Amino acid sequence: MVLKNEIKISLDKGKLRLLMFLAFLFAIGGVWVIIQSDHMMSPARPRALLILVGSAVIVLAGVCMVFIFRKFGDTEPGLIINDDGITDHSSGTAAGLVPWSTIERVDMARVKSQQFILLFVKDADAIIAAQSNGMKRQLMKMNQRLYGTPVCINANTLQCGFDEIYRLISDSFERRKELDNM
């Protein structure tokens, strides 16, 4: 039961730099909201709310920058498709190895202009529980609530486009199902 050769898709360091820059701009925006809160407040926007929003933006941007910064030093491919399954290292919520035997279905979702590849798995709770990072577990639980699966692959950080990655994963999944049914 052999699939085609192993497929490795590298992280795109240029895309990572762009994402880091955007996260930095969001952090600067959060600081600006806090600094300007005296001038921006109104009955509908009390100063405390503006400071809370600015702080939340800074924290979220900071978390994103930490995840992105870690990926700069990552020498592993962002995505590997082989006989074992799909190994995702493309984002802060990457699940790692998802064996073919645990994947029930491959689909896609779109949120505004963002597209995600969804891997529906037999035991989502086990995949979430296997994560050692508490924040990652929480983000995967959020994915489970929003999309019905904790495993969402985003092509934004990869050197290959979304359509090509979706085709590679879907074709490999279908070939694997055919081999398993023989």
pTM: 0.78
pLDDT the model gives residue 2: 46
24 and 55 in one domain? yes
Q: What is the pLDDT of residue 4?
A: 53
Structure tokens at 16: 């990572």
Question: Same domain for 97 and 68?
Answer: no
The answer to the question of residue 81 being in a domain is yes
150-166 residue pLDDT tens: 999 988 889 988 999 99
- Say if 45 falls within a structural domain: yes
**CB proximity list for 96: less than 8 A, separation 6 or greater:** 87, 88, 89, 130
Helical spans, DSSP H, in the chain: 13-35, 37-40, 47-72, 124-129, 134-147, 162-180
106 located within any domain: yes
Last residue of a domain, one of 19, 50, 72: 72
pLDDT tens digits, one per residue of 31-59: 999 999 888 878 888 888 999 999 999 99
Dihedral sign computed on CA atoms, order 29, 30, 33, 34? negative
34 and 92 assigned to the same domain: no
Q: What is the pLDDT of residues 103-145, one digit of tens each?
A: 999 999 998 888 999 999 999 999 999 888 888 889 899 999 9
The residue type of 143 is N
Q: Does residue 1 lie within any of the structural domains?
A: no
* Enclosing domain of residue 64: 8-72
Residues 133/104, Cβ–Cβ less than 8 Å: no
User: How far is 168 from 30, CA to CA, in rounded Å?
Assistant: 39
Angular region, 85: left φ>0, alpha ψ -120 to 50, beta rest = left
Same domain flag for 169 and 120: yes
pLDDT over 90 for what percent of the chain? 55
Domain count, the chain: 2
Residue 136 falls within a domain, yes or no?
yes
146 in the same domain as 164: yes
Residue 109: strand pairing partners? 116
Task: Indicate whether 93 and 42 sit together in one domain.
Answer: no
User: Average pLDDT over the chain, rounded to whole?
Assistant: 89
Same domain flag for 147 and 170: yes
